[in-house]
Amino acid sequence: MLHERIPLLPSTIGTQREVVRLTYGPQGADMKVYLQASLHADETPAMLTAHVLRDLLQSLEDAGKLAATITLVPVANPIGLSQHVLGQFFGCFDLNSAANFNRGVARPKDVCARLEGRLRDDVVSNRRAIKDAMRALLDASPPATEFDSLRSTLLKMSCDADIVLDIHCSLEAVVHLYTDVEAWPRVESLARHLRSRAQMLFVGADLGLFIDWVRLAWADVRAHVGDRYPIGEGAVTAIIECAGERDVSYESARQQAQAIIAYLVERGAIRDTPSTPDALLHPATPQAASEHFYAASSGIVVYRARIGDVVEIGDAICDIVDPITGGTVTLRSGTKGVFYMRRAIRFITAGAEIGRVTGG
């Protein structure tokens, strides 16, 4: 295992943060896997999953079973990890700029222009050229702030990966997963190994997510190249949501880490006997079909649906109780699907998000 410390640009004099990268398996293998945990720094279960992955990957490396270069970033956001204000932990947004650490990632431009004259009839050299072009594009935009430095560092470490798994969690939630509809046939078994209860598929969306950078870079190259040159499949990218933020246990972390390892065996990154996961618990659904509930008024949220429930149209999701007026408003689902996430704090302001159902 190669242990590297990559310094970030400091935000103020006298401070210096760093990202730690652990690399397992043969350096420079044709296949590369990138795993990162807790880009939203307060999503602690992801870090514990990475902790278990670390031991599993080390054992596999010692046994000579790694066929791919596997990069693990067990703590992807040292900026967010330090944001504690009056006892509250703010890890999703950069307190300096209000930017979400997993939004606003600019779509890559000019990858295709950088490939001019570099492709031929050899898939291996073409893939290398595409990955070189992605790296060169990122190198051409040096960061100016600590926030940009973190983003740039993580993108540079992941842009040449064939599999990118961004490990998060939600507030109160079942294990669920996001990927794009084109990648779904290659991601389905990951969802099955994870015993994921909801799989949301993006259709052609650019949400500015971390995984969108490499996903869209490949999509643009594919559209540009067409059938003129062989380039193989684009990168597989997915966001794994390790249940809710308080679901921190060795048991769940081990289950999730073992699921990721089983998936990497199937994808050929690890030389081991593949295992057959159980069938999906619920079918994948378009992300756009997911119903997001928002509070029409402020009050105490009393949930009537449990996380993981399959709700029907008209089923009660929650009540919002106003102890000043004595009124109670019941919020009902407009969709049939899995109630896969809900808020963690039980008092709500008007307009705030209450939870989500997958839809169909």
Residues that bind Zn ion (CB under 5 A): 40, 168
Written as six digits, the tokens of 184 are 């779904």
- Measured from the CB atom, is 40 or 193 closer to Zn ion? 40
- Measured from the CB atom, is 69 or 77 closer to Zn ion? 77
- Measured from the CB atom, is 168 or 192 closer to Zn ion? 168
Contact in structure between 107 and 206 (CB atoms under 8 Å): yes
- Name the amino acid, one letter, at 124: V
Shortest reach from residue 349's CB to Zn ion, in Å: 21
Shortest reach from residue 43's CB to Zn ion, in Å: 5
Shortest reach from residue 127's CB to Zn ion, in Å: 29
Residue in the block written with tokens 């596997």: 70
Shortest reach from residue 47's CB to Zn ion, in Å: 12
Closest CA to 164 of 72, 92, 233: 72
Residue in the block written with tokens 């000019």: 110
- Measured from the CB atom, is 42 or 315 closer to Zn ion? 42
Shortest reach from residue 168's CB to Zn ion, in Å: 3
- Measured from the CB atom, is 234 or 355 closer to Zn ion? 355
- Measured from the CB atom, is 120 or 292 closer to Zn ion? 292
Shortest reach from residue 83's CB to Zn ion, in Å: 14
- Measured from the CB atom, is 187 or 239 closer to Zn ion? 239
Phi-psi category of residue 213: left, alpha or beta, with phi > 0 → left and psi -120 to 50 → alpha: alpha
Shortest reach from residue 133's CB to Zn ion, in Å: 29
Shortest reach from residue 81's CB to Zn ion, in Å: 13
Shortest reach from residue 36's CB to Zn ion, in Å: 11
- Measured from the CB atom, is 9 or 99 closer to Zn ion? 99
- Measured from the CB atom, is 43 or 180 closer to Zn ion? 43
